Chains A and B, each alone.
Chain A
């Protein structure tokens, strides 16, 4: 083990050296291009082989001195030269092959034999060691052959060196031993269940191999290991269940304890990874396995949270792949989605509904669905799908909504995202927007969609308004905003609530606001205008030294940038006080302008995050190959606010429902009241019985209701 540590330390020094000498090396070679002697293939290969053999010796623990910096440089430069020589002496392909062969040779001659001769736990240990060594070898050889990664593989669209190296291990070692390994692991786990001590660290390392071998796709882990693991677990538990019931002292407590230990440990193993077993089960619609997993994990505290986030990721991933792929692929995935929605035809309908709502912690599924719709309906989303395909998907979505109990939550998320699409002109197709609203209306009633329809109409009105404004301007040449101004006037009730902050507008924009206000006064005196600057966009010209670039930014960003017209350098504090915004907003703004893709401002110090002690300077040297770029400002996470708003609305809804019921019945028992309340509200959401109880008590305090004197389970309406 200590050997590896040594190697790694020197590796990092070497990298530093390389980085510095890389630039130098380029200059050298450029100068020496003409003077260079051609290396022929044999020579080159032999030379590299020496280096490779040296590396293998070190890994095997043989007495071999470490690589010196000259040796590294020579190996690296040899490759470089052989790749940059003029044809027919450019040997990139041969070197690429040589790279792969080195691994194959080493594995077949040394690694595999050593694994074959060991068994059980010893075999596992050997495997871990060999895998570790292999990774080091890949790292090193990739450094030597690095130049291939830079040009050759991209030109030929080949797998990068890293992948090739790992694939060798997978194809040669893993495929051969994975069966034995899996059995050994499962028997270890069984041992532990029986109460023996096992080496947990070893187990973790072995499982990690399964995951890493997948190289980002979890097939190996899932198919080879996990499914049998889950089967084995299930079998084990059913065996054990009968035993546990017989135990004398508090069986529940014991069960919980044991399950906790085992399941918690494996929960993290099985579920914490990005594409977990749960994901596999979801993908393959293995509902029986899914429900088994659900039952198992629901027994441990927070066992379901990882599952719900997996489900969330899965659906979002599925949703995004759905719209981003080409037609055929899309119809394949859609078939899956259809299957998921089509579960209603099977007896598993109920299981699906419960899973959909409970297992995904309620709000997530409503939010997911809204996000899914947003992806389909916005620009850059599903343009590759045919109209028919989109219609079909929307149809499925609305059907799926029937299974979501928190429809009001869905409505709110949908509304928020619709607002963004409409206001930022991100909507792909008006027809589709209208079509889904019609479908929602049919399914959930007019009240559900009234606000959303209002939003769509509002925009049409706003356009009209704007043309009137332009007329007004042309008729009154003395009032000019000085800039091209488009204003969208929205009706408050329809749109989600937006906080309006008192942004200090730059002088140019103040004039615009004034001019529009005057115009609006001529149209109507009875309305109040509240400006929402957080939703505006600006096109401004950045006069950079190389060339002028047009920047498409939000009003907030524009206000920030315009500050730099008056001074070249500003501190965070100065910016904040001049703009009159909160810390959160300022941080987001400055980040988008100085730490993201386009660095319009130079930040000092040059770290990745904004701190209140930073200073900013206009980056006069900025340029881009495009003449016009859009600088996005990531939106604030609305989720919390949406949930808050919906909760508040629900409280009112429950109150109204209780009062309505009691007013007509005058006297009603508690159970009855709750039942009727749930029924009345069921169209929009499933009210929590506890929440209803609280509202009843609140109404008692407010003297709307009282308990019957003789029977406290009965309520009377107080006129």
Chain B
């Protein structure tokens, strides 16, 4: 997909949205029809439905199962039902990854486009397929690059619409969730520190820099650069750690 020019990419996306085909199939067909959409449709519909393309009608049905009664969106109740169907805990981090695929704007809400688009890109159009794909989805977190993207995504997703910062409680919940996957030994201290000393919302900059800190700085803080451009909250965290002798300066041992 990345090798395509912008015009071609658009066409592929359009094709997928209309036919519900997989990316692979769409590319095939469009190339075959020399990038003419009408032609491509003809080719496509004359062909028998191939492999892992998704059936848009099934997706429609799926969507309607969870959709909210009053709005054209899947809301909290629907998501609850979805999780039940999938036999997954709503708190399970896999739902975060799913939301990431869907490019969901806000947690606990999926628009039709988000839901359908997301599942299509995963090649899912039924509950069995969904359940089957869960392990794969979960495994995405192991990839460092993907984890970073998901982490950054989580900030905008978890915060209130219209707010610039993330409420502290939510942030702490998210951190605990995320760092259960990618182990960071200081996460509990960090959360405790925030509750004791900070008690305000978290800015985007702090959120993103924290990941750098967790990845880059070792838990003994031996390579922490105090003169660096770390957000002041992180500087204070380091101070907090040394003051309460959780980390002994120069020793690099966590108690």
Question: Which A-chain residue is minimally distant from B209 (CB atoms)?
Answer: A712
Do residues B209 and A701 form an inter-chain contact, with CB atoms below 8 A? no
Given the complex, which residues of A lie within 8 Å of B165, measured CB to CB?
Answer: 701
A693 with B232: CB separation less than 8 A: yes
Find out whether the CB atom of B227 lies under 8 angstroms from the CB atom of A671.
yes
The minimal Cβ–Cβ distance linking A703 to chain B, given in whole angstroms, is: 10
| Contact (Cβ within 8 A) B227 A697 | no
Residue numbers in B under 8 Å from A118 (CB-CB): none
Q: Give the residues in chain A near B205, CB-CB below 8 Å.
A: 697, 700-701, 707
One digit per residue, 1 when the CB lies within 8 angstroms of any chain A CB and 0 when it does not, for chain B 183-216 equals 0000000000000000000011110010010000
Given that A693-B235, A712-B212 are contacting pairs, would A670 and B228 also be in contact in the complex, using a CB cutoff of 8 Å?
Answer: yes
CB distance from A658 to the nearest CB of B (A): 13
Residues of B within 8 A of A694 (CB): 232
Contacts across chains A and B counted by CB atoms under 8 Å: 35
Q: What residue of chain A has the Cβ atom nearest to residue B205's Cβ?
A: A700
Tier of interface size on chain A: 10 to 19
- With CB as the reference atom, state the residue of chain B lying closest to A700: B205
Q: Is A713 an interface residue (CB 8 A)?
A: yes
B164 at interface by CB-CB < 8 Å: yes
Interface string of A353-364 (1 = CB under 8 A from B): 000000000000
Residues of B within 8 A of A150 (CB): none
- Contact of B229 with A by CB under 8 A: yes
Which B62-81 residues sit within 8 Å CB-CB of chain A?
none
Question: Which residues of chain A have C-beta atoms less than 8 A from B229's C-beta?
Answer: 669-671, 693, 696, 707, 712-715
User: Shortest Cβ distance from B228 into chain A, in angstroms?
Assistant: 6
Collect the chain B residues with CB atoms within 8 Å of residue A696's CB. Answer: 229
Min Cβ gap A317→B in Å is 38
In the assembled complex, B252 has its CB within 8 A of some CB on chain A: no
A195 vs B4: C-alpha distance when bound (angstroms): 83
B149-186 contacts to A (CB < 8 Å): 164-165
Task: Please name all residues of chain A whose beta carbon is closer than 8 Å to the beta carbon of B164 when the two chains form the complex.
Answer: 701
Complex Cα gap A694–B236 (Å): 12
Q: Are A713 and B228 in contact (CB under 8 A)?
A: yes
Interface pair B203/A701, CB less than 8 Å apart: yes
Chain A residues with CB under 8 A of B232: 690, 693-694, 697
Most A CB atoms within 10 A — which of B165, B228, B229? Answer: B229
Tell me the bound Cα distance from A214 to B164 in angstroms.
65
Q: How far is the CB of A540 from chain B (nearest CB, A)?
A: 52
For A697, list chain B residues within 8 Å (CB). 203, 205-206, 231-232
Measured CB to CB, the nearest residue on chain A to B165 is A701
Q: How far is the CB of B214 from chain A (nearest CB, A)?
A: 13
Residues of chain B within 8 A of A714, CB atoms compared: 229
A701 / chain B contacts, CB cutoff of 8 Å: 164-165, 203-205
Min C-beta distance of B171 to chain A, whole Å: 15
Residues in A699-719 with C-beta less than 8 Å from chain B: 700-701, 707, 712-715
Partner-A contacts on B (CB < 8 A)? 164-165, 203-206, 209, 212, 227-229, 231-232, 235
27 inter-chain pairs at a CB distance below 8 angstroms, sorted by A residue, are A670-B228, A670-B229, A671-B229, A690-B232, A690-B235, A693-B231, A693-B232, A694-B232, A696-B229, A697-B203, A697-B205, A697-B206, A697-B232, A700-B203, A700-B205, A701-B164, A701-B165, A701-B203, A701-B204, A701-B205, A707-B229, A712-B212, A712-B229, A713-B228, A713-B229, A714-B229, A715-B229
For the complex with contacts A669-B229, A693-B232, 6 further pairs of A-B residues with Cβ separation under 8 Å are A670-B229, A671-B227, A671-B229, A693-B231, A701-B205, A713-B229
